[in-house]
Amino acid sequence: MADLIKTVDYFYITSTDKPGAGAKMLDPFRKAGVSFLAVHAFPAGKNRVQVDFVPAKNSAFLRAARGARLRVSAKKKAFLVQGSDRAGALAGVMAKLGAAKINVTAVTGLCAGKQRFALIFWVKPKDQRAAARALGARG
């Protein structure tokens, strides 16, 4: 099976970095039945965390966030890769971007079980079109 490479929308929310803060942030989405293609969190300054959300449906995500009065960033773009797991799956994608002189600012790759892998990565906004072309990404 060929890898599926596509651009995806993501939004981020910042929060305090305390035990239970993530569960509190996720609860409105759980209650609203919001599905995610990816969630990625990392430190964002002293005692803060940034959580990037790639919702399956933007409208459902935004509706739940508004209902919970969460401060959500403007829509941004990332890339999602899904495919059959194999040695070098991540390396192949990174090599294509490197050959196109595109720097990746962040990446997370995972084995998704049942011989599947997934990868989410970010490039600078000025490089998004070139990255999409280099990888044959779908919009």
pLDDT of 112 reads 81
At 37-74, the pLDDT tens digits run: 999 999 999 999 999 999 999 999 999 999 999 999 99
Q: Which domain holds residue 117?
A: 77-135
Confirm whether 4 is domain-assigned: no
Residues composing the chain: 139
Among 26, 46, 76, identify where a domain stops: 76
Q: Which residues contact residue 137 at a Cβ distance below 8 angstroms, ignoring those fewer than 6 apart?
A: 5, 6, 7, 79, 131
- The domain tally of the chain equals 2
12-25: b (≥16 Cβ within 10 Å) or e = bbbbebeeeeeeeb
The pTM of the full predicted model, rounded to 2 decimals, is 0.90
User: Do 33 and 67 fall into the same domain?
Assistant: yes
pLDDT in tens, 113-126: 889 999 999 999 99
Same structural domain for residues 40 and 89?
no
